Amino acid sequence: MRMSGQPDLEEIEERFVAILEGRLSRDEADRWAVRWVTDGDLVWEAPEWWALNLLAGIDLLAGPTGDYLHDDEQVRAWLHELQQRRTG
């Protein structure tokens, strides 16, 4: 049972798109996702849980160079997979 305000796949997908379009920082997306992932009172369907866990950590750095662990190409691949899961 989805709680009021709990994001659905469409809202989660929008976060991936916003990152790739530069409308949302990776840090903002991470903080948004962590808020949902760490709420132990919520029940998630598998696709939502999978996608939220990708967003929670999307701002991780690969090392001191400042490059992200997961580059835009990887984020696009996740977005594509999420879209496939949504249309099923």
Buried b vs exposed e over 36-73: b needs ≥16 C-beta within 10 Å? Answer: bbeeeebebeebbebbbebbbebbeeeeeeeeeebeee
Is 2 part of a structural domain of the chain? no
Helix (H, G, I), strand (E, B) or coil at 31: helix
What is the Cα–Cα distance from 84 to 17, expressed in whole angstroms?
15
Q: What is the mean pLDDT of the chain?
A: 93
pTM of the model: 0.90
Rounded mean pLDDT, 71-88: 93
Is 3 part of a structural domain of the chain? no
Residues 51 and 82: beta-carbon distance below 8 Å: yes
Is 4 part of a structural domain of the chain? no
pLDDT at residue 5, as a whole number: 84
Q: Number of structural domains, the chain? A: 1
CA atoms within 13 A on the CB side of 9: 16
Is 1 part of a structural domain of the chain? no
Question: Which domain range does residue 61 map to?
Answer: 9-87
Position 62 pLDDT exceeds 90: yes
